[in-house]
Amino acid sequence: MEGRLPVLPAHGNRGAEGPRGQAAKGLGIVAGAITHDRASAAEGRRGGPLIVTEDADLLDDLLRLCAAAGARPEVHHGVPERGGWETAPLVLVGDDAAPRVRGAARRRGVVLVGRDQDDSGVWRRAVEIGADHVLLLPDGEQWLVDRIADVAEGVGPPALTVGVIGGRGGAGSSTLACALAVTSARQGRRTLLVDADPLGGGLDVLLGGEGAEGLRWPDFAGSRGRVGGGALEESLPELHALRVLSWDRGDCVTVPPEAVRAVLAAARRRGGAVVVDLPRRVDEGVAEALAQIDLGLLVVPAELRAVAAARRVASAVGMVLRDLRVAVRGPYAPGLDDREVARLLGLPLAGEVPVEAGLPATQERGDPPGGDGRGPLARFCSAFWQRAALAGGGV
């Protein structure tokens, strides 16, 4: 059975040894951010900021913040003689150096950095050098880390983030989430699949990669502030041309909501597509995930009991997620079709998820859902991403 899909609107460390423990040593938490120990390794990384100062203590602080953001700066005592001032993505001018850069060409992205909270003259000096911002340390450290990381990573349009949730147990939401992610990666997008259901058994298992090296959710439980997008991507297992953030087989079944927020924000900054497999309950961590999702798909089998269960799920999820749509899965109970299910739930119809014979046997062989690109499920997912792109979804 083929699915119908309307056009979508524009979307608005643990220290354990072993492969994962060793991988975690390549990530450092500095000033609330996870960074990779090779700043140039992240794909698409741009040049670092230009620092202009002779204040040794201020320079130490700025170098520390650049390291936290995963950026390698260029340091000068004044305006560089051979370029640099005009081409650097961000210029950090120490308050001591303001007189030495007063005659430099005006440009955007200049930040005057000082320490004296009581010095009202800093604002006058900022105007004289054409600075966009005045930053006083230590209060502004997190803002500056975020700004440096943005220019180092070359921030562009955020990823289209799609959440998939089952209307009842066994609805097939994990299968659909994996198929959407596999299809997105096959079409050439940077894709990250996030397993937000710690009791679901692990999406890495569903993709046949439970033994793949890389970090899992418990390794990010201590994350706060900003997580480096490039470092996150490099640290995760790569399966079927996409990155997967799943759970391990340990006892940890929760991570703090602050960690969920930081990790998903990092994933979105990399662009492309992020697919999140959601549990049917809404706790603080799930609420953080829902807040970063552009479009939710509620997978509902076409039976009255499933519709009744899905109504309760939709009520809870809808308090956080604005754009929730129903994806109906057959076979159909008497008197039901996809439009009737959507009407009963009071939700827009996202499409009809096709029934694919032989899918369980395919997954038992370790082949991912939608992996061959030819079955009904793969065609449904291809149509989904095509319409999302046509609607300006940023994928």
Q: Closest by alpha carbon to 255, among 225, 221, 213?
A: 221
pLDDT of residue 393: 59
pLDDT of residue 36: 27
Strands (E), 24-153: 27-30, 33-36, 50-52, 74-76, 91-94, 110-114, 133-136
pLDDT of residue 155: 63
- Give the pTM: 0.71
DSSP letter at 261 equals H
Q: Closest by alpha carbon to 2, among 386, 375, 296, 362?
A: 375
Residue type, 136: L
Residue type, 31: A
pLDDT of residue 372: 80
46-153 is a CATH 3.40.50.150 domain: no
Class of domain 19-27+157-390: alpha beta
**Chain mean position to CA 139:** 27
Place of tokens 């449904």: 380
Cβ–Cβ < 8 Å for 94, 53: yes
* One pLDDT digit (tens) per residue for the chain, 395 residues: 444 443 343 333 333 333 343 333 333 222 222 222 223 333 444 568 999 999 999 999 999 999 888 789 999 999 998 778 999 999 999 999 999 999 999 999 999 999 998 898 999 999 999 999 999 999 999 889 888 887 877 667 889 999 999 999 999 999 999 999 999 999 999 999 999 999 888 899 889 888 899 999 999 988 877 787 888 899 999 999 999 999 988 888 889 999 999 899 889 988 899 999 999 999 999 999 999 999 999 999 999 999 999 999 999 999 999 899 999 998 889 989 999 999 999 999 999 998 887 777 676 676 788 888 888 999 999 999 998 877 765 44
pLDDT of residue 150: 79
pLDDT of residue 16: 34
Cβ–Cβ < 8 Å for 214, 246: no
pLDDT of residue 129: 96
Which residues have CB under 8 Å from 332's CB, separation 6+?
A: 302
Spatial separation of the C-alpha atoms in residues 103 and 106, rounded to whole Å = 9
Where do the structural domains in the chain lie, given as residue ranges?
19-27+157-390, 46-153
CA-based R_g, the chain, Å: 24
